[in-house]
Structure 1
Amino acid sequence: MQLKIRHTIPNQLVLPLGYHHIIQGIIYHSLAEEAGYSGQMHNQGYSAVDMGRCYKLFNFSLLRGKHHVVNRQIIFKDYVEWEVRSPDIYMIRLLENSFRKNGIQYGYQRFEDPELQLENETLEMDSAIIRMCSPICIYSTDKDTKKTYFYSPDEEEFSWQVSDNFVRKYSACYGVSPESGIWIMPLKVGRRDKYVTKYKGFYLSGWLGEYQLTGPRKNLDFLYQTGLGCRNSQGFGMFEIKENEDVY
């Protein structure tokens, strides 16, 4: 399920360039009205079967709107819009109710009466050309050195890592492994699509751009709701279908 958010900005909305933690905080704070739900989502999430990992099965887009950047701050004017998705319908409805009741607060700036659009769009295809709404982040961490390596779409292992991440998330959500994985291939990804941000003191790297995504329909729909790659609950991996394009 999807919740699309838009609100006007009477003056301006000023945020740090690395604002992912602020949007994530808005989501957790809004869910906190339901006793125990936010804490469970934040601390536990969903556990993958026999894989020792937990996933918060939601994702959100980058902020969209007229803006400029000054001194490592991004300044929005006129309006801002963004989107949250999750296979957890209850979570999305909680967010909608909280935003309608309390508005949305970015740090010290509160905006009342946001425009909210609740949708239940699903993917009914087994191959699609997609455009990233937030960067796809794929990495691995060396067990000995603890160093993290971020993969780029032109590396052979990138597609395998994306598929492996999907299997883990699917297993965490449904308690069983999917019958097959998925396949992703970069189509239009250039140097300008690389995205680097700082999240709570750590640098994260991802990629925007356009890709071909292939797999069983139910797998692609699951990824549409949860996001591609890692760090989905921190604002990575949301994509949209690029319309009127031939699928390769």
Structure 2
Amino acid sequence: MQLVLNIQLEEPLVLPMNYNHIVQSIIYRALSVMPDYAEFLHQSGYTSGKRQYKMFQFGQLQGHYKMADRKFIFDTEVSLEIRSPEPLLINLLVDSFYRNGIAFGKTTYRDIYMEIYDYTIEENHIVVQMKSPLTVYSTDEFTNNTYYYNPQEEVFFDAVNSNFYRKYQAYFGIAPCSPIRISKVENENCRKFVTKYQGSYITAWFGKYDLSGQRKYLDFLYQTGLGAKNAQGFGMFELL
């Protein structure tokens, strides 16, 4: 399911360049209308081995803005899209935002127009463009150093597929019976994106990609996101 929030700003919304953690905290705070569920997602979520998945994603904030002192200043309105394969999560967000508004810091915005969609992927092959950047990585278990892959490396696409396997198994309790296939659209460049999330730098990539596989697997990825760190604002795509 998809939830699109259109927030009318009574006063300008000022956010740091690295605002993903702020949006994520808004989502968790809204889910606290059902405390047990919010705690489940925040503490563990859906697991596959040592990996934890929250099963939601959000895109970048959209709206007219200007930059000043390395901050975004949205002036009249801002929109945000949230997706999840879990209807309960979307419905809890709608209920919370309707009752309590959306608080950015000390300012609560209550003039919110919410749109709920249940769009599904119905094809076995799609061409997509990233709405929020795609990231995959590995962490050395001895040094704890993290290496972020890039689309020039074949392992980048292998890592996206491995992430899909684990995420699908975590949510449904069974492994997918076939892989997805992902590749960069020919003659298209990917744009590097580096941001800081709670003290750590994350490298990710915008771009256009070919995706193929069973329809239900592509639909699952549309709801949950491609690659890693979906609940931190990475991996949302749109169809071309």
TM-score tier by shorter-chain length is over 0.9
> Once the 2 structures are TM-superposed, how far is the Cα of residue 113 of structure 1 from its aligned partner?
2.7
Residue 77 (str. 1) matches residue 75 (str. 2): yes
Task: Check the 8 A contact 2:10/2:109 in 1, yes or no.
Answer: no
Partner residue of 2:214? Answer: 216
Determine the C-alpha separation between the residues in 1 that align with 2:179 and 2:73: 40
Task: Check the 8 A contact 1:6/1:82 in 2, yes or no.
Answer: yes
> Once the 2 structures are TM-superposed, how far is the Cα of residue 47 of structure 1 from its aligned partner?
1.2
Determine the C-alpha separation between the residues in 2 that align with 1:84 and 1:105: 16
Tell me the amino acid that sits aligned with residue 223 of structure 1. L
Task: Check the 8 A contact 1:189/1:208 in 2, yes or no.
Answer: no
Partner residue of 1:246? Answer: none
3-state SS of 1:97 partner: helix
Task: With the length of structure 1 as denominator, give the TM-score of the two structures.
Answer: 0.93
Report percent identity of matched pairs: 44
Deviation per residue, 1:84-120 (Å, 9 max, x gap) = 1111100100001111111111112211031100111
Partner residue of 1:245? Answer: none
Say which is worse superposed, 90-99 or 145-154, in terms of deviation.
145-154
3-state SS of 2:217 partner: helix
Task: With the length of structure 2 as denominator, give the TM-score of the two structures.
Answer: 0.96
Partner residue of 1:117? Answer: 115
Determine the C-alpha separation between the residues in 2 that align with 1:144 and 1:68: 43
> Once the 2 structures are TM-superposed, how far is the Cα of residue 189 of structure 1 from its aligned partner?
4.9
Determine the C-alpha separation between the residues in 2 that align with 1:235 and 1:94: 19
Determine the C-alpha separation between the residues in 2 that align with 1:190 and 1:212: 13
3-state SS of 2:75 partner: strand
| Structure 1 stretches of 4+ moved >6 Å | none
1:55 to 53, 56, 81: 53
Partner residue of 1:142? Answer: 140
Partner residue of 2:16? Answer: 16
Tell me the amino acid that sits aligned with residue 189 of structure 2. G
> Once the 2 structures are TM-superposed, how far is the Cα of residue 186 of structure 1 from its aligned partner?
1.4
3-state SS of 1:205 partner: strand
User: 1:1-248 maps to which residues of 2 (within 5 A)?
Assistant: 1-48=1-48, 51-187=49-185, 189-190=188-189, 193-242=191-240
3-state SS of 2:10 partner: strand
3-state SS of 2:26 partner: helix
Task: Check the 8 A contact 2:4/2:116 in 1, yes or no.
Answer: yes
Determine the C-alpha separation between the residues in 1 that align with 2:10 and 2:35: 33
Determine the C-alpha separation between the residues in 2 that align with 1:137 and 1:206: 4
Q: Which blocks of at least 5 consecutive residues in structure 1 are unaligned? A: 243-248
Equivalences, count: 239
- What is the alpha-carbon root mean square deviation over aligned residues? 1.2
Task: Check the 8 A contact 2:9/2:76 in 1, yes or no.
Answer: yes
